[in-house]
Amino acid sequence: MRRLTYIAVVALSATFALNAQAQKKAKDAKSGEVRKDPNGVKGISPFWELVKDGDNAYIARDYDKAISQYRSAIEKEPQNALGHYRMGEAQLAKGESREAEASWVAGLRFVGANHALKAKLLFVMADLRERQKAYDDATDAWIAVNTDAKFVCGARRSLVAAAEGGTDVWRYHFSYDGYTTSPATEPAAFHGLELVYIFGNFDSVSFGGLSYTPNADDLEMTATLQQA
């Protein structure tokens, strides 16, 4: 009998403890308190809290406050491109196009491998060039957006899929522009150019019916690629 009473008491105590925990969780949920964590693992980080405050101010069209909050966020994480991107958006909305440009240039400097954010930064920079009526620069900027969307992003998705399937993959960015051109033409890397250097078949290249003779930089680039 005593044993049954003891078991009942223990069970009742456990029930009270569980109820107390549930009530505490419910109370915390009702209080609306946001869990905070300096590292942003178990709660919102100071950077993201400031970005959220800036976003709320931006939505309310309080651009001065938004800029202030984004600036504080950048002070917390100077190399986080998102802060610079959001700052530029608020500055442009306020009519400060030069300041917005500086913010987005900083964002591109720090964006790293965040390809989605890089695409947004390239887009707003191209749009800004149009607003500034710098149409040549706008054309170059839109080409950069289009190139990234069509070729870079597509190649990246293919490689990620291959890697997830267990295949070893390598990715490169070819920007060589050391080949010989006419004085009136500025050299630049273009789609498919690397194939000539990978295979070293310069005899297949012609300009206006004239064959191309590789220069010393061309031969060095071919050797580098063929040894990779």
* Sequence ranges of the domains in the chain: 46-164, 172-228
pLDDT tier for residue 218 given thresholds of 50, 70 and 90: very high
Q: Which residues contact 116 (CB under 8 A, 6 or more apart)?
A: none
115-136 confidence digits (pLDDT tens):
889 888 988 998 898 888 888 8
Q: What is the DSSP letter of 41?
A: S
CATH code, residues 46-164: 1.25.40.10
**Entry pTM:** 0.58
Identify which of 13-22, 66-75, 117-126, 153-162 has the greatest average pLDDT: 66-75
Handedness of CA 112, 116, 122, 128 (dihedral sign): negative
From the DSSP assignment, how many helices (H) and strands (E) are in the chain? Answer: 10, 2
d(CA 148, CA 116): 10
54-89 confidence digits (pLDDT tens):
999 999 999 999 999 999 999 999 999 999 999 999
pLDDT tier for residue 15 given thresholds of 50, 70 and 90: very low
